[in-house]
Structure 1
């Protein structure tokens, strides 16, 4: 009997090791594609929205627009976690009254960073198209913060370049028309079915007319790639070991494709776990990657969708992107660790040379204006 038990325990361990080895083998080098560098854009939710804004502003020469869902102006936090959680957002303890994000100060910071060469010239922003969304019931990033983002953008672009949707009765979440919690709910996985296709709306605003989305089974593939190629020791610096890219069949076959980069929010990283009354303990996994609506549009419009992945650290327990300086004083400029890592991913996808990762500790130091 003991031999029988030992046999089955050994067999179970071997099966587990095989499964782990197979999972590890599926993480690959990020491929290069025939991606048009002039057709690259970004978007994000919550912390990912703040990241999308700072990435767009810092690398404005390389992008044509951004979609911002529950975010705020460039460098809103100014290196302060207190400002990040009480002025730019209202988590975890709520906002301090109706504190302003001080847009004039943020414009000064932007202009001085540009004049010092820390970010691309702000003149590039004039050709960008920005799509903004703020849920009417958002209690985490109130509409006043998104209103301030509009004011910030208007310093650099004409009003005709901005689309601002703020009348959907949504809580703090990624709005879709096919997946998630009821629209007024504030809860994991922070994807809500609001009968509103945010991904489709923002992509059509940025790129213009697109072919109708794929409403059936996707025809492309999800590629799980190694992020440590772009930043050494990524888990020490708030990035996961691996990320994802959705590759439509047309892009895989060599057709010229556009590229859109999507930054997830806090508590949306792959290993995050939460409790659901219907499903018990849930591991987040690729919920954001697969259920936010981008891939449906990508499939029919020659659009690669890059999903870089953040990760929790002691300073960043919720797995947010670095938009307040928890890891790097240069978080909002081109030399920022996470910023540069994602830019290397973009360059790789477009066929550029990005074979060497950034060192874990950049020697450039903190050069940003405060």
Structure 2
């Protein structure tokens, strides 16, 4: 090759590289949450505390949510506003669980959650639960109790998946399972991202098939290749938090005032309802054109998880195109996590229920009432819960067109 030809080749190669970089940088189309999603096809799911919040939202908004999925989540309404009960009973199974369906019916009768017709939701009709019997963070009894609650509330049997022995998912540790997972299938005391690999087991694939498959056989080959990180875009969550903050909801304190030790106070994180300023969204190609009217699915990460990493790796994006579904990933701000597996620690006593003890170091969604002020206990299960109100704003925005 001549010197001129070599220079030309290098120039062309450099231009191609710069073009590729520019393409990656411009991957986000700048539309944020406004995707004109179908408001009549809204669903939620999550892992651990995210599973709990997904069910809480679906129960509170059962007139507009069509389906819900839970991976390794505790029973709805189990904690009754108590952190000690949340850990001892709902997670670790140290005391008996009791049915909570009467609480849901009472909240519906009081107007705190969507009304029921003949005791049944007006939209919510399908549910799916995964719970590995070997999970050491949420016991199998709590997962089964959650499935029993959903069956009683919806009036249709929840699909309960407890894994299988062939791929080890029946012995999996706490986490969401995907073929691309980075963590070992079984718990190994070195928990990092809680995205596990148990052979070809695929929690999201089976969940979406159960919720949206309309009776067709499950076909794992329809799972798309792993979606590039550049295709998972950020959205402004802070503006939606601020709208709810403008109403000045009462909030529990999360630490002591460092100057006046007897004066409880709230951190900036608490004033943001422990939520992060940004979330993530994946819009599959089939849903990017005007008028696509795709499903909207809200996927909620679990405790101790990096929200952005969950959005990239949990396995939702790879099924989004198959089911024409926009995946939205709201985010909780991570605190300073407790390193040890919680059910291997000593049982908690009632002292930890005082709000001035940091109640959410693991960056969990509010499934036991850590945001509830003393004057408003139980709000976390209702449509007035601050995090639920932010999620409502997110869903409304995803269902809005760019012109709205």
TM class by shorter chain equals 0.7 to 0.9
In structure 1, the residue matched to 2:240 is 230
- Give 1:150 deviation, angstroms: 2.3
CA distance in 2, matches of 1:37, 1:220: 27
2:287 is aligned with 1:251:
yes
2:173 matched to 1:129? Answer: no
- Report what 1:120 is aligned to: 114
Q: Compute the TM-score of the two structures, normalised by the length of structure 1.
A: 0.77
Q: Distance in 2 between matches of 1:88 and 1:38?
A: 32
Instruction: Name the structure where strand makes up a greater proportion of residues.
Output: 1
How many angstroms apart in 2 are the aligned matches of 1:352 and 1:340? 20
**1:178 CA drift (Å):** 2.0
User: Which aligned pairs between 1:314-325 and structure 2 lie closer than 5 A?
Assistant: 314-325=358-369
- Please point out which of 144, 162, 165 is paired with 2:161: 165
Does 2:198 align with 1:194?
Answer: yes
Cα deviation code 1:332-363 (max 9, x no counterpart): 1101000010011001100189x9xxxxxxxx
Q: 1:334 aligns with which of 383, 395, 398?
A: 383
Deviations 1:52-111 (A, max 9, x none): 111110011111111111112222111000111111102xxxx52xx22211xx222111
- Partner residue of 1:263 out of 288, 294, 300: 300
The farther-off stretch of 135-144 and 177-186 is 177-186
Equivalent in 100, 104, 108 of residue 110 of structure 1: 104
Once the two structures are TM-superposed, the CA of residue 301 in structure 1 deviates from its matched residue by: 3.0
Going from structure 1 to structure 2, the CA distance change for 1:172 and 1:303 (only over 3 Å counts) comes to same
Equivalent residue, structure 1, for 2:10: none
Cα offset for 1:316? 1.1
Find the residue that maps to 1:182 and give its secondary structure. Answer: coil
* CA spacing shift, 1:116–1:27, aligned 2, 3 Å: farther
Extract structure 1 runs of 4+ deviating beyond 6 A: 26-29
Q: Counterparts of 1:250 and 1:112 in 2: how far apart (Å)?
A: 42
Distance 1:241 1:220 in 2: 19
Q: Select between 172-181 and 81-90 the one with higher mean Cα deviation.
A: 172-181
Tell me if the contact between 2:182 and 2:195 (Cα under 8 Å) persists in the aligned partners: yes
Conserved in 2, the CA contact under 8 Å of 1:238 and 1:310? yes
Note if 1:292 corresponds to 2:294: no
Change (3 A) 1:29 1:43: same
User: Which structure has the larger Rg over C-alpha atoms?
Assistant: 2
Residue number in structure 1 paired with 2:259: none
Whole-angstrom CA distance in 1 between matches of 2:141 and 2:130: 12
Contact 2:33–2:394 (CA under 8 A) maintained in structure 1: no
Select which of 176, 179, 187 maps to 1:177.
179
Q: How far 1:27 sits from its partner (Å)?
A: 12
The 8 Å contact of residues 220 and 248 in structure 1, kept in 2 or not, is answered as: no
**Alignment match, 1:302:** 324
Relative distance call for 1:220 and 1:349 in structure 2 (3 A) is farther
How far, CA to CA, are the matches of 1:28 and 1:235 in structure 2? 27
**Is the Cα contact below 8 Å between 1:27 and 1:226 reproduced in 2?**
no
Please tell me whether residue 239 in structure 1 is matched to residue 268 in structure 2. no
For 2:227 and 2:233, how far apart are their aligned partners in 1?
Answer: 17
Q: For 1:218-238, what per-residue CA distance to the aligned partner results, in whole angstroms no more than 9, with x for missing partners?
A: 598322111111112683211
Change (3 A) 1:31 1:135: same
Q: Which moved more, 1:56-65 or 1:251-260?
A: 251-260
